[in-house]
């Protein structure tokens, strides 16, 4: 979910500004289409290609948006200014790279409109991975849907992405090393299907329809199996737990005469809601039913023990992100000076959380935003760039 990126006021980039406002956007046999994969690998001239050694502090991988090209860096979590340039990615004027949902070891993924593409969200995008340990870029496809984030699967060996042709949408799995790909599932739809991830041999995906949002699983060559009715409206921000046993997402609820999004977890084994600390099964704060608290971007902790959510500054001038443990615990992270945090991703050691920090009150009045790193031990580190930060993932070194 994204929009054109440009430094001009008439066409501002709204990917991160509207992350708190974002709307989500019959079985087909598996088809091998090896010959259509773009077999292009490049060593970026921006780095020396040497192996990165990381001692202790993990590296964040992020891009600085530019009108015609984005620059991708790594930097220690606690020293964002100590950055190393790994690649410069040219793109259609005003459009920048759109990151995947996560990283996998040294690999980060993104979609992008090439320089000569028609600058439109409907234009076919290229799918790339960058290996920050080798400074190696690999183009995997030229037919991706720009606004649907690619998802690493199979332990980082494969990527899921969506492509569309007319009313037909396909979820495609690409082997990162072998550069082969296969259509895992396809549908004729006027709404949308969205890859979430793999659970064993099954692809888990969300489907929008006039009935709302439903989640399905499908095996190769099989028919989709219904798992969960997530909402009568549009649910979003899907994340599988690290063990694949549970699914977190945001679903809209009506509270105090307004619609707000709240985090929910469903067990994919029992298909029942999972209770969280201090909230009921719909995400409503217990003992505070009159307070229509809005929540943002549920992100699993690396060990799968809970999810981290942002929360609006409904009463106070600022609210921290909170870790809601499956054991009933509730841990507040360090509070921003003003506004609220929208979680992006935890470092693999579980110490650092990348967030988009807004200085407003909620999704209706988000205010200005910047990307920061929240340390579990109480510090905050801002990633300062002249334009805007695009967070791609974490890397712990090799």
What would the pLDDT profile of 321-348 be if each residue is shown by its tens digit?
999 999 999 999 999 999 999 999 999 9
* Residues paired with residue 339 on neighbouring β-strands, in sequence order: 318
Provide the mean pLDDT of the chain.
85
Position 107 in a domain: yes
Structural domain containing residue 172: 25-191+386-398
pLDDT band at 220 (very low <50, low <70, confident <90, very high): confident
pLDDT for 12 beyond 50: no
Q: What is the pTM of this model?
A: 0.85
Q: Which helix (H) or strand (E) holds 144?
A: strand 136-144
Please give the structure tokens belonging to residue 132: 């920050």
- What average pLDDT does the segment 308-327 reach? 93
- What average pLDDT does the segment 218-224 reach? 88
pLDDT for 269 beyond 80: yes
Separation CA 231–CA 236 (nearest Å): 10
Position 356 in a domain: no
* Residues paired with residue 33 on neighbouring β-strands, in sequence order: none
Report the domain count for the chain. 1
Position 202 in a domain: no
Position 293 in a domain: no
Position 245 in a domain: no
Position 241 in a domain: no
Position 7 in a domain: no
What would the pLDDT profile of 240-268 be if each residue is shown by its tens digit?
999 999 999 999 998 777 889 999 999 99
Separation CA 309–CA 301 (nearest Å): 11
Separation CA 287–CA 328 (nearest Å): 16
Position 126 in a domain: yes
Check residue 211 and give its pLDDT. 95
What would the pLDDT profile of 56-98 be if each residue is shown by its tens digit?
799 999 999 999 999 999 999 999 999 999 999 999 999 999 9
Please give the structure tokens belonging to residue 344: 């992006």
Check residue 397 and give its pLDDT. 72
Check residue 56 and give its pLDDT. 76
Point out the least confidently predicted range of 76-90, 129-143, 305-319.
Answer: 305-319
């Amino acid at each position: 979910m994204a929009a054109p990126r440009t430094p001009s006021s008439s066409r501002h980039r709204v990917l991160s500004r509207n992350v708190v406002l974002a709307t989500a956007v019959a079985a087909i046999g598996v088809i091998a289409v090896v010959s259509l994969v773009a077999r292009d690998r490049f060593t970026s001239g921006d780095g020396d290609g040497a192996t990165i050694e990381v001692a202790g502090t993990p590296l964040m991988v992020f891009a600085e948006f530019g009108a015609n090209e984005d620059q991708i860096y790594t930097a220690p979590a606690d020293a964002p200014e100590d950055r190393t340039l790994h690649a410069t990615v040219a793109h259609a004027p005003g459009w920048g790279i759109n990151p995947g949902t996560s990283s996998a070891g040294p690999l980060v993924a993104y979609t992008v409109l090439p320089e000569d593409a028609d600058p439109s969200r409907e234009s076919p995008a290229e799918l790339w991975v960058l290996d920050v340990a080798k400074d190696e870029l690999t183009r995997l496809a030229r037919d991706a849907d720009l606004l649907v984030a690619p998802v690493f699967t199979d332990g980082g060996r494969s990527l899921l992405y969506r492509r569309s042709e007319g009313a037909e949408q396909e979820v495609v799995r690409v082997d990162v090393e072998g550069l082969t790909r296969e259509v895992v599932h396809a549908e004729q739809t006027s709404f949308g299907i969205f890859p979430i991830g793999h659970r064993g041999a099954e692809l888990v995906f969300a489907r929008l329809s006039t009935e709302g949002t439903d989640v399905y699983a499908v095996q190769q060559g099989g028919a989709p199996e219904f798992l969960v009715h997530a909402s009568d409206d549009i649910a979003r921000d899907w994340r599988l737990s690290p063990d694949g046993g549970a699914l977190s997402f945001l679903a809209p609820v009506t509270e105090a005469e307004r619609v707000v999004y709240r985090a929910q977890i469903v067990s994919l084994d029992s298909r029942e809601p999972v209770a969280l600390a201090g909230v009921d099964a719909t995400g409503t704060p217990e003992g505070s039913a009159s307070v229509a608290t809005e929540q943002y971007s549920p992100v699993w902790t690396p060990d799968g023990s809970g999810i981290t959510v942002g929360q609006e500054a409904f009463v106070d001038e600022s609210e921290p992100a909170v870790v809601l443990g499956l054991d009933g615990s509730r841990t507040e992270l360090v509070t921003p000076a003003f506004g609220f945090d929208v979680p992006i991703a935890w470092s693999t050691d579980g110490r650092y959380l990348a967030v988009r920090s807004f200085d407003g009150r909620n999704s209706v009045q988000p205010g200005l935003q910047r990307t920061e790193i929240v340390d579990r031990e109480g510090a905050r580190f801002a990633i300062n760039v002249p334009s805007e930060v695009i967070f791609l993932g974490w890397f712990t070194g090799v």
